[in-house]
Amino acid sequence: MPKLQPELIIFDLDGTLVDTIVDIASSVNYVLSQFGLPNHEISDYKQMVGNGFRVLVQRVLSPEKSNDDIFFDKILRLSMQRYEEHALDRTRPFPGTVETLESLYRNEIKLAVLSNKPDHLSKKIIESLFASVKFVAVWGDNKDRARKPDPSATLELCRNARVDPQKSLFVGDSAVDIQTAKAARIAAVGAVYGYRSREELELAGADYLITSPPELLSIVEFK
């Protein structure tokens, strides 16, 4: 496929820019253990993340426990609290991510983050791990924005950056991200190195696939 000349690139966070899965899994498993509930493997969490923390907790609990509103809210609150305290214990950018973002920024491509992770945690991680990179926006989940795959936040990012959606690019590691891009009618890049499979990204309709962050530079043509 031809190279792209995007003016704005929107990135997912977990599984795309940073590897957060160990901190997420250990935090939630810790809380589950306090209630005598079974823990889940890292490989399980890779399939359960992507739709926000509330959905993650629904997925780790049995249907019976999830339907108990009082119990569910307690597990959600404690899991969030535990994760907030340990969100940066072992979370790191994927190899080559910082250098890739710096190269894009040097070539005057605007950069943004759109995540279903809580907004304050998304900002905390970006500020801590990407101090050398300037983003036009870092948006996580809050009550004022619809979560991915709803395209409204993506389109709002484009408007705020004064960039036509057709001159934008969305990079993510799950079907949720690809669906978001498709709904917004912008080009979608699937990050195969993330938490989901190549097959999932292909079935979702990714326009491009990359196996490492630096590979993104091979499909972007600088002006």
- The token pair that represents 51 in the structure block: 């739709």
Pairing mode of beta strands 18-19, 187-191: unpaired
Q: Active-site residue among 12, 19, 23, 177?
A: 12
For residue 213, how many other CB atoms are within 10 A of its CB? 22
The answer to whether the CB of 207 falls within 8 A of the CB of 188 is yes
The answer to whether the CB of 221 falls within 8 A of the CB of 3 is yes
207 assigned to active site: no
Q: How far apart are the first and last CA of the chain?
A: 18
- The token pair that represents 73 in the structure block: 């809210």
Which residues are known catalytic residues? 12
